Amino acid sequence: MKNILSWSKLLLCLAFSLNGLAADTPRTFLMRPDALIKGKQLVQQGDTAAVKALTDILQEADKALHNGPYSVVFKDKMPPSGDKHDYMSVGPYWWPDSSKKDGLPYIRKDGQVNPERFSIRDAEYHNALCRDVYLLSIAWYYTGRQDYAAHAARLLRAWFIDPATRMNPNLDFGQSIPGITKGRGIGLIDTRSLAKLLDGVMLLKGSNVLNADESTVIRQWYGSFLQWMRTSPIGTDEADEHNNHGTWYDVQTVSISLFLGDTALARKILREQTIPRIESQLKEDGSQPHELARTLSWNYSQMNLKGFFELARLAENVQLNLWTMETPGGKSLRKAFGWMLAHADPASTWTYQQIKPRDVKGFFELARLAAPHYPEMDVRKLLAREEKQNNLILLTGSSF
């Protein structure tokens, strides 16, 4: 089949890992170490589904070998600071006011993305960086091929280390609104994929493609970014959000804390911020009123639940079980998943505002992640409609 790795090439790749390059137990936080180990065993045993999943992942990793490097200094526009090393983005749902000659201040059209959002590509580059490092690290883990690890290291050096291209550790100018503000706490949603990048860095440790000094610089960068998130006016503003923004803020701060080895802080955030968010963001029946008030109510409910699922997985690293926990008010992730599962049939009636077609395919991912924790909920009919199983979930226990 065109573009599919041959068995001989795949077995050659596996020979490297069998020689012990990636034999140690991975120390990842979202990817499940047990799933990675089991996945490698299945591939080595020739399990059809596992081999096919790895083949598909390697195809994507091969594409990633030609991507990047990425940098915030590549943008044409200068941030208000006068330093291109500062991250910038534009609020996606803000448009020129047609009643004003200069269009200022911009006005909000929820769910309708202004193409100006894409004129500055810092957000796009960060997301691509996270995805590529994630895929390349998995490809290295399963094959031992150093070209995968080496390219991931090149991407990391450009974003975090090289003085000519590195990003300053702040989002002071995230999701600006012309005529209103140069940056907002809401801009922190732009970097919500960083937990995957951190997992990639952890997985790459066995490859030795980053020397000790480089690894230290990346750790210091995230230490500074975490400090900015927790103390700056913009960072603390996002921490106080009561919808998906607050959820994904916690995903970032908890994952960085784990990456830095500060399990006490990770546990503190989960107990003092995440659990209260479950209480405040969910209704007792499992619905998410803050997300249902949006013009893309299904999309945002799904996005927020994914954030909570990532937090539940991260919480396992500090021996907290958010999967089955119920708050004093009777709120739980179990109920939130069950509520959405009842509406996941495309033929079901969705009475909330949804200005774009409701696509339930993204819910398959959540169903696969939830199934081991909620065996009483039958997801078989839902997953029977799945055209292609998520390869990342099969081989890592996580997804992108």
Identify the CA nearest to 113 among candidates 394, 356, 344. Answer: 356
Q: What pLDDT sits at residue 361? A: 87
Number of Cβ atoms within 10 Å of the Cβ of 121: 19
Identify the CA nearest to 155 among candidates 222, 216, 92, 204. Answer: 204
The residues facing 296 across adjacent strands are 354
Residues of the chain with pLDDT under 70: 1-23
Q: What pLDDT sits at residue 9? A: 45
Q: What pLDDT sits at residue 397? A: 96
Identify the CA nearest to 227 among candidates 200, 203, 253, 201. Answer: 253
Tokens for 399, please give them.
């997804």
Contacts of 66 (CB under 8 A, 6+ apart): none
Q: What pLDDT sits at residue 27? A: 95
Largest Cα–Cα distance in the chain?
68
Q: What pLDDT sits at residue 389? A: 83
Tokens for 130, please give them.
């996270």
E strands present in the chain: 88-90, 94-95, 107-108, 173-176
Q: What pLDDT sits at residue 187? A: 97
- Do the bridges between strand 107-108 and strand 94-95 make them parallel or antiparallel, or are there none, so unpaired? antiparallel
Q: Give domain 241-400's CATH architecture.
A: Alpha/alpha barrel (1.50)
Burial (0-12, 13-18, 19+ Cβ within 10 Å), 191: buried
The full length of the chain comes to 400
The residues facing 107 across adjacent strands are 95
Q: How far is CA 392 from CA 36, 46, 205, 368, in A?
A: 10, 18, 20, 11
Single-letter residue type at 61:
A
Same CATH fold assignment for domains 1-22+46-236 and 241-400: yes
CA Rg, the chain, in Å? Answer: 21
**Spatial contact of 120 and 183, defined as CB atoms under 8 Å apart:** no
Q: What pLDDT sits at residue 20? A: 40
Instruction: Tell me 206's DSSP state.
Output: G
Q: What pLDDT sits at residue 47? A: 97
Contacts of 96 (CB under 8 A, 6+ apart): 103, 104, 106, 107, 178
Domain residue ranges of the chain, discontinuous segments joined by +? 1-22+46-236, 241-400
Instruction: Please provide the DSSP assignment of 124-153 as one string.
Output: HHHHHHHHHHHHHHHHHHHH--HHHHHHHH
For the whole prediction, is pTM greater than 0.75?
A: yes
Q: What pLDDT sits at residue 386? A: 87
Q: What pLDDT sits at residue 3? A: 42
Find out if CATH 1.50.10.100 is the number for domain 1-22+46-236.
Answer: yes
